[in-house]
């Protein structure tokens, strides 16, 4: 499966949130419609850190979207080893 690359400009997650790459290549920043950083997703580990209060339903959908669009490199490697 080909790994998706995220351009430096924004990628829309839904009508209220978008994301773009941070300074590090494995860091993806999630912004709200007002351009505030609400979360950081670390693609290397699959870790998601929330910086602002976000509705639980929005957190779930953002988390799911990030994990599907940019799967963790560590989890992918572990799955390949166990298969």
Domain ranges of the chain: 11-82
**pLDDT at residue 2 in the model:** 43
Q: What Cα–Cα distance (Å) separates residue 4 from each residue in 56, 67, 69, 77, 79?
A: 26, 12, 7, 16, 18
Question: Do residues 26 and 44 make contact, with C-beta atoms less than 8 angstroms apart?
Answer: yes
pLDDT by 10-residue block (mean), the chain, 83 residues = 56 93 88 95 93 95 94 66 62
Q: What Cα–Cα distance (Å) separates residue 22 from each residue in 5, 29, 31?
A: 13, 6, 11
| Predicted TM-score (pTM) above 0.75 | yes
């Amino acid at each position: 499966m080909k790994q998706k690359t995220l351009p430096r400009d924004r990628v829309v997650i839904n009508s209220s949130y978008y994301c773009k790459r941070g300074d590090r290549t494995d860091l993806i920043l999630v912004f709200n419609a007002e351009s505030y950083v609400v979360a950081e997703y670390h693609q290397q580990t699959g870790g998601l850190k929330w910086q602002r209060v976000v509705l639980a339903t929005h957190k779930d959908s953002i988390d799911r979207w990030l994990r599907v669009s940019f799967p963790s490199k560590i989890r992918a490697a572990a799955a390949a080893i166990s298969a």
